[in-house]
Amino acid sequence: MAELYDFPERVTGERLSADGAKKKKKRRGRMDVPFCMLTLLILLVGLVMLLSASYIRSYYETYGSSRGPDATYYFRRQLIFSVLGVAAMLFISRIRLSFIRKLSFPAIIGSFLLLLAVLMKGLSTNGAVRWLELPGNVTFQPSEIAKTAVVIAFADWMCKLSDKMKTFKYGVLPFLIALLCIAVPLLLQPHLSATIIILLLGFMMMFAGGTRLRYLGAAVLAAVLGYALLMYLIKIESPIIEKVSFFRYAVERITAWKDPESVLLSGGWQIIQSLYAIGSGGLLGLGLGQSRQKYLYLPFEHNDYIFSIVCEELGFVGGVLILLLFALLIIRGFWLAMHCRDKFSSLVVTGMMILLSLQVFLNVAVGTNLLPATGISLPFFSYGGTALDIQLAEMGIVLSASRDIADK
């Protein structure tokens, strides 16, 4: 996308002279208000829906604790992280992207090291090791940091290799190596959803940066052949599936996706309950707070499957309106990317919007059983404090880029 625009030397973001740098600082304007307001509106709606979706499970999981049952446990924690996240977003919006660009290489290396740390001493939940624990009983997924790091690092490299992006040596190989370094530790966790998102994100950014379509087409062909091979191994009941943990994990998810009733107790239950929730909502929904599936029928109702509760309580109309808000935010983000003053800013904003689009689409697709369950959360809605803060920080980066757009 960024290659469609000509970025003359006077607006490339480079410090041509001390005087030029001073003039650039003076020209920096206010952040993009529509983008900021849409972000805050989606966050507010997400908090309301999280409270509605989580209060039964909160009450159940805190029942018998020393402080007594607390129906707002998840909501209160998410609210605290929301306040911190908004503060971080506004703070980051004032940091110049030239400074953020300097962090691109340390960010990608740090993400790789954090993913290795997960494999060595990460926390295990539901058969997957994806979290690291911080002091204060706070956990976070390094995969969330890796997504942001890929966007910033790829944008930086694409600017440095802009005249060589059409070649395989410079336009494909370094990016492919970086993606493999991130994807392999994720597959070993296993964390299929983050792997898919990061690979798609990387390839889409390569397209925006100018990589030849034939190279990306070869990657798509390899993915299709890999899926066909997996289906063949399932069909012949190959012993390889049982020996390789990733294959076992993938087969379980695909089996539950194709026929959830056949594996009701090992993956199919949540899919069926999610479809019940969406279907029972009808056109206008049962009403805010009136969901029946959140009474411990639907697992992860406050996280991966919160959109199903949204559809049950607000109906088809409510679900479409929320998706419309996301669409408006994403469209506004791409508009900002098209009007950025330099290529790096344009690529960073493009990457952030691609990342947001992928997460929204894949979460809704999983909830409606269009795709196999992979553990993808819905941005600004799903419970998860550190993930929420990182998402708001990403929006802060977009707002920082918007400050350098002369005419908004």
Whether 343 and 7 have beta carbons less than 8 Å apart is answered as yes
Per-position pLDDT tens, the chain of length 408 = 444 444 544 344 444 444 444 444 556 788 999 999 999 999 999 999 999 999 999 999 988 777 878 899 999 999 999 999 999 999 999 999 999 999 999 999 999 999 999 888 877 776 677 888 777 677 788 899 999 999 999 999 999 988 888 898 888 999 999 999 999 998 888 788 888 899 999 999 999 998 888 988 888 898 888 878 877 777 777 777 666 666 677 777 888 888 888 887 777 899 999 999 999 999 999 999 999 999 999 999 999 999 999 999 999 999 999 999 999 999 999 999 999 989 999 999 999 999 999 999 999 999 999 988 877 899 999 998 889 999 999 999 999 999 988 555
3-state secondary structure (DSSP) of residue 287? coil
Whether 74 and 50 have beta carbons less than 8 Å apart is answered as yes
> How deeply is 83 buried, as exposed, middle or buried, from its count of CB atoms within 10 A (0-12, 13-18, 19+)?
exposed
**What is the domain partition of the chain in residue ranges?**
40-62+69-92+260-402
The helix-helix angle for 343-367 and 192-209 (nearest 10°) equals 140
CA angle 306, 114, 126 (to 5 degrees): 40
Half-sphere exposure of 173 (CA within 13 A, CB side): 5
Residues shown for the chain = 408
Q: Residue 270: which of 77, 71, 126 has the closest Cα?
A: 126
Which pTM was predicted? 0.89
Q: Which residues contact 340 (CB under 8 A, 6 or more apart)?
A: 2, 346, 349, 401, 404, 405
Question: Beta strand 128-134 with 123-125: parallel, antiparallel or unpaired?
Answer: antiparallel
For 261, the token pair is: 């009733």
